Amino acid sequence: MPLDISAALRLPGTEVPFEHRVDLPEQDVLGETVTFPEPALVKGTFQLSGDALIFKARLEARARGACARCLEPVDHRVSLPFEEAYTREDQVPGEPDPWEERLTFTGNRVDLTPLVLSLAVLDLPLRFLCGKGCAGVPESPACRTEETNNEETSADARPFAALQQLLTKHQEE
């Protein structure tokens, strides 16, 4: 849903605080499918300055890809500040410039989706990894997220510890 910017049009030069959610479609990034499980959040201010609508805001989003080694789903948090200016479309003189993708708005609504999508995709890691220790083997303990990995490593990394205890006990008898 486009953002209503009529408050900025009524009060040029005033920074208007806003909070807006943007649904992001799934993306094909270097052959990998990246989804956005919930709408991205954009929070900050917009201000009309001449024919430009200036955004100073922060983007928060969650991108989900597959671990490059074990293919388990991995979430990447996007959290970045940005500053962008939209130009009023009916004020752009002449033909559209094919070399420059201008951010434009008409009337009192702005669709933030293309901007938010490109900011989010630029922030994605080169490849998703579920954890630093991912060994690439499905169902391996190392292929879980780092939080759970740390808790379970000690038990799972030594599968022969229980056997060792049995052997020791047997020798003592």
Q: How many CB atoms lie within 10 A of CB 147?
A: 8
Q: Is 67 in the site for Zn ion (CB under 5 A)?
A: yes
Of 31 and 98, nearer to Zn ion (C-beta) is: 31
How much of the chain is helix, strand and coil, in % rounded to 5?
Answer: 25, 35, 40
Number of chain residues interacting with Zn ion (CB under 5 A)? 6
Which x/- pattern, by CB under 5 A, does the window 94-133 give for Zn ion?
------------------------------------x---
> Degrees (nearest 5) of the Cα angle 121, 84, 18?
95
Q: Is 143 in the site for Zn ion (CB under 5 A)?
A: yes
Q: Is 70 in the site for Zn ion (CB under 5 A)?
A: yes
Q: Is 149 in the site for Zn ion (CB under 5 A)?
A: no
Q: Which of 77, 138, 95, 88 is nearest to 110 (CA)?
A: 88
Query: Interface with Zn ion by CB under 5 A: which residues?
Result: 67, 69-70, 130, 134, 143
